Structure 1
Amino acid sequence: MTASAAPTVARSAPELVPPAGPTPGGTLPLSSIDKTAAVRVSVDFVQVFPPAAGAAVGDQGAAVAAMRDGFARALVPYYPVAGRIADASPGEPVVECTGQGVWFVEAAASCALADVNNLERPLLIPKDELLPRPPPEEKLEDLIVMAQVTKFTCGGFAVGICFSHLVFDGQGAAQFLKAAGEMARGLPAPSVAPVWDRDAIPDPPKLPRGPPPSFTAFSFVTQRHGRGVQVAPPCIQLPDDAEVRLGFAASTRHLLQGVLPSVEGYYGNCVYPVGITRTSKAIREAPLPEVIGVMRGAKEALTARFTDWMHGGAKEDHYNVPLDYGTVTVSDWSRVGFNEVDYGFGEPGYVFTVNDHVNIVASVIYLKPPTPKRGIRLMLRCVEEPHAAAFADELAKYE
């Protein structure tokens, strides 16, 4: 690619990759956690694979074919993923095991990864060109997984993944992708056998949710900070008595031992919201160790709160979080497992989320920085432009 030419991506039409063998049919229920904690939206992210040592550009076609075959073979034990989400009744989603398969897109970029700064932000290739999209007759919200692999002239790849949060949490989606990678590399079966068993999780009585939350489309800006900083709820220029909240989805897999026939291999949602609520003034004036202590206390209460919820003893719906400018959610993607997926061309050097269009709640996402950098990478979308400079100044105090 010349210095003046803008990079382009040529994409093939999406093709269905069906399971490589026969799979069961029928309808499978989702768990009470799936239906309560998750929403019927696609989570989008990109894995960046630098050129493998000694690999030739001419080998890319064979590598993509093996990856496609890995998905097909993984869909046999993970047969629900080859199906579609449907509604058994209003507000009651299920998975229909149709065996149709997952949509797979092949693409080729006109440049090397180095020419686009290895896909670090600001992106020099529009994110929509790196993500798979189905044919127009398919409903995006009914699909469970899609993949696009983009070849770069240097021999590297980018893999764009879209998965349904209704069927997987992050760890569950990573488990499926690891299985696809293992099968692509020739393993006869996934190293971790998949477990569905959604109906083993109790369905607690539904708590009164009150009025539905109002959704505001905020104009969040994207910021990055490469050092290990603590993130407090956004108090910038809010009234002293305004409520501010920090929340995160804590894993409850360890609390489902004895509830599920087998926790290992379970790939459904295993999360429960943990958070703190204080006034803007209280957070602004509190020493940082005090704020951290409050957060730790909330996390230590997870076992009791989740157990109460699962057995119908909860007095309030902790999943119903106010979505206003005073709420920020924190997600740790650095240990979910997306950085450990190997489709046959090594593990990714960088993984980043591209759900920038989700502007109804402020977010902070922990990522691993691109190899060989160390530390963490923060993706911050929690303030609007009038407060961005002040927020950056606050972060700079912790360098």
Structure 2
Amino acid sequence: MEKAGLGEFNAEVVESCLVQPCLPSPRGTLYLSNLDNQPAARMAFNTLLVYKASENVLPDPAKTIREALSKVLVYYYPVAGRLRKKEDGKLQVECTGEGVLFVEAMVDKSLSVLGDLDQLKPSFKQLLFRFPSNTAIEDVHPMVIQVNHFACGGFVVALNFHHCIFDGRGVGQFLNGLGEMVRGHVKLSIEPIWDRELLKPRNMLVHELEFIEEKKQSTSHLEIPPIYKESVQMSLTLDFETIKYVKDGIMPESIDICTTFEIFAALVWRARTKALEIPHTQSVSISFVVDVSRSFNPPLPNGYYGNSIVGAFAEAIVHDVINKPLSYLVNIIKKTKMSLTNRYLRSIIDTEQFPANVHSNQANIILSDWRWLGFNEVDFGSGTPVNICPMFWNENGFNLSNVFLFLHSPKRTNDGFKVITWMPPQEFNLFEIEIEAITNKYAMNS
């Protein structure tokens, strides 16, 4: 059912320009690490940050943000360059100083037309300029920012960034630095560090790939259910009480202290598996993105904004996913995270043997926790965003198959979080029923 206020609108572009660093910046070619070049990072991502009208709203958000962007690019000058492909196919950055593409647009409706961004409409594509899919990598800007003014006085900052230059936390660091410049800071509170050479392969390769090979073998023989093309963006919100009931119920079952992510990754894994009605003898896997910046020895420095993420894979038999205590799944997820040691990480960087892509199998799922990337803290002078949402579209519409994202609740409370995913509506309904059944069980036992 369509939510109240959610509908179509028109966005008219009033200006498009390249924003360059306001001071001369270094020229030359910069190395991108093997983590920057891993398959999962060789793509662009889109994000919307929504700001409601307030007494402190900027008189001209686009102009102010554009001027601040030229200042922050002095620190992040590689972002004003261009990607280049080497002979071996890997990407590097050529520091040209050409600039970031900046677009300003006017929307003829109020922010209420967006709803909670739970269901995206075709007109939402107008909020962000995007290069055609067949554009050569050399012609794509590593970053595009579009500021959309709404009739109510609120605005939406839409960001397109190439993942090989930033990981999610790195983008959050960049945006918060941009916000500081908007608010009149003379310098950034966190100085950005490029230094991708910190993750260069070692001369002597250390092969420690049993974990990866096991996952490749186990995922390659899975029975593949039909791939749905009618998937749409759906979401559900887990409130504080629900989270507390489940955590309180899990803690006595588990040997170790569990994080909220580990518990609700297990919850999503079980509910999704039950909703798909997969044969109980089949294996299913869960992949989740882990920030490993502190797992290296020595840890990556504060301010490093390159990719320091790795996909971790856990696997179990469907019968166990559905029937064993939820703490069983939590412990599998925890052990998988703990396996990402410095020695293991260095070995996959050395050999470029990154874990297999599970997108191709509808039974497997991928989770990413966006709550700690810093997007919800970005302040352009009128307060933090009231909502944050990814915006990914392909030939089948707004679709990121098999993926679940954890985000802060749009209600701006610290009490819960929102889960965004892409499913056919009928499948999502079953998933939501399973989530409710599992959480209700813990609530009744509290």
Q: TM-score, normalised by structure 1?
A: 0.87
Q: Deviations over 1:328-383 (max 9, x none)?
A: 011111111011112233211111111254757401101111134541111022x4
User: How far apart are the structure 2 equivalents of 1:307 and 1:73?
Assistant: 39
Instruction: Report SS of the residue matched to 1:53.
Output: coil
Please tell me whether the aligned partners of residues 105 and 149 of structure 2 are also in contact (alpha carbons under 8 angstroms): yes
For residues 38-117 of structure 1, the aligned pairs below 5 Å read 38-55=40-57, 60-61=59-60, 63-114=61-112, 116-117=113-114
1:301 to 336, 339, 359: 339
Q: CA 1:168–1:54 in 2, change beyond 3 Å: closer, same or farther? A: closer
Amino acid of the residue matched to residue 200 of structure 1?
A: L
For residue 128 of structure 1, what is the aligned residue in structure 2? Answer: 125
For residues 221-236 of structure 1, the aligned pairs below 5 Å read 221-227=232-238, 228=243, 230-232=267-269, 234-235=272-273, 236=276
For residue 310 of structure 1, what is the aligned residue in structure 2? Answer: 346
Instruction: Report SS of the residue matched to 1:335.
Output: coil
User: How far apart are the structure 2 equivalents of 1:336 and 1:250?
Assistant: 12
Instruction: Report SS of the residue matched to 2:37.
Output: helix
1:390 to 430, 433, 443: 430
For residue 269 of structure 1, what is the aligned residue in structure 2? Answer: 307
Alignment gaps of 5+ in structure 1: none
Q: CA 1:38–1:315 in 2, change beyond 3 Å: closer, same or farther? A: closer
Instruction: Report SS of the residue matched to 1:60.
Output: coil
Please tell me whether the aligned partners of residues 245 and 275 of structure 1 are also in contact (alpha carbons under 8 angstroms): yes
Q: CA 1:157–1:295 in 2, change beyond 3 Å: closer, same or farther? A: same
Please tell me whether the aligned partners of residues 82 and 99 of structure 1 are also in contact (alpha carbons under 8 angstroms): yes
Q: CA 1:112–1:221 in 2, change beyond 3 Å: closer, same or farther? A: closer
Q: CA 1:4–1:275 in 2, change beyond 3 Å: closer, same or farther? A: closer
User: How far apart are the structure 2 equivalents of 1:70 and 1:327?
Assistant: 42
The offset of 1:238, in angstroms, is 1.5
User: How far apart are the structure 2 equivalents of 1:226 and 1:242?
Assistant: 30
Please tell me whether the aligned partners of residues 14 and 135 of structure 1 are also in contact (alpha carbons under 8 angstroms): no
For residue 37 of structure 2, what is the aligned residue in structure 1? Answer: 35
For residues 1-399 of structure 1, the aligned pairs below 5 Å read 6-36=8-38, 38-55=40-57, 60-61=59-60, 63-114=61-112, 116-123=113-120, 126-133=123-130, 139=136, 142-203=140-201, 205=205, 218-219=228-229, 220-227=231-238, 228=243, 230-232=267-269, 234-235=272-273, 236-256=276-296, 258=298, 260=300, 263-303=301-341, 306-311=342-347, 317-323=353-359, 324-357=361-394, 359=399, 361-373=401-413, 374-381=415-422, 383-384=423-424, 387-397=427-437, 398-399=439-440
Q: CA 1:167–1:337 in 2, change beyond 3 Å: closer, same or farther? A: same
User: How far apart are the structure 1 equivalents of 2:6 and 2:420?
Assistant: 29
User: How far apart are the structure 1 equivalents of 2:196 and 2:304?
Assistant: 9
Please tell me whether the aligned partners of residues 243 and 326 of structure 1 are also in contact (alpha carbons under 8 angstroms): no
* Aligned length in residues: 387
User: RMSD in angstroms over aligned alpha carbons?
Assistant: 3.2
Please tell me whether the aligned partners of residues 17 and 103 of structure 1 are also in contact (alpha carbons under 8 angstroms): yes
User: How far apart are the structure 1 equivalents of 2:412 and 2:400?
Assistant: 34
The offset of 1:139, in angstroms, is 4.3
Please tell me whether the aligned partners of residues 72 and 181 of structure 2 are also in contact (alpha carbons under 8 angstroms): yes
Please tell me whether the aligned partners of residues 288 and 313 of structure 2 are also in contact (alpha carbons under 8 angstroms): yes
Please tell me whether the aligned partners of residues 146 and 162 of structure 1 are also in contact (alpha carbons under 8 angstroms): yes
Amino acid of the residue matched to residue 302 of structure 1?
A: L
Amino acid of the residue matched to residue 124 of structure 2?
A: K
Amino-acid identity (%): 28
Q: Deviations over 1:16-68 (max 9, x none)?
A: 1111110011100101211126332111110000112254xxx532x321110
Amino acid of the residue matched to residue 277 of structure 1?
A: E
User: How far apart are the structure 2 equivalents of 1:145 and 1:46?
Assistant: 14
Question: Which stretch of the first structure deviates more once superposed, 238-247 or 70-79?
Answer: 238-247
User: How far apart are the structure 2 equivalents of 1:352 and 1:307?
Assistant: 35
User: How far apart are the structure 2 equivalents of 1:133 and 1:196?
Assistant: 26
Q: Give the structure with the higher percent helix.
A: 2
Please tell me whether the aligned partners of residues 178 and 341 of structure 1 are also in contact (alpha carbons under 8 angstroms): yes
Please tell me whether the aligned partners of residues 120 and 233 of structure 2 are also in contact (alpha carbons under 8 angstroms): no
Instruction: Report SS of the residue matched to 1:393.
Output: helix
Q: TM-score, normalised by structure 2?
A: 0.78
The offset of 1:166, in angstroms, is 0.9
Q: CA 1:242–1:356 in 2, change beyond 3 Å: closer, same or farther? A: farther
